Amino acid sequence: MIYVVMGRETIPDVSAAIGFTASFLPSAERRTIYALVQAVGGTVRFCIDGTTPTATKGVRLTEDSTMEVWGAEAMRDFLCIENIVQSDPTVEVIYFGRGGLA
């Protein structure tokens, strides 16, 4: 299976809990499978289970680290926020979907 880039976005303001832009999420028309996420300029916290993260609650994604969010439900429930007020981090996201056969 080959994965192809379906889109990308920068989430520039994570001072309040925010998720992925709805137009990038999996749907009948959009076959997004997963998102590659990177914290840039600081550490963020995130949740993928519907819980709202806070500056002290959620899984930490340290500066310049990456993680993958797989599946429609986890992508819909993804929320992130900056980890304790610091240096205004941003979140870079690349969305992937199914391509042709290898």
What pLDDT shows up at residue 101?
58
DSSP symbols for 14-51: -SS-B---GGGS--SS--EEEEEEEEESS-EEEESSSP
The pLDDT of residue 2: 83
Question: What are 21-66's pLDDT values in tens digits?
Answer: 999 998 877 889 999 999 999 999 999 999 999 988 999 999 999 9
pLDDT score recorded for residue 84: 80
pLDDT of residue 85 exceeding 60: yes
Assess if CATH 2.60.120.770 describes domain 3-98: yes
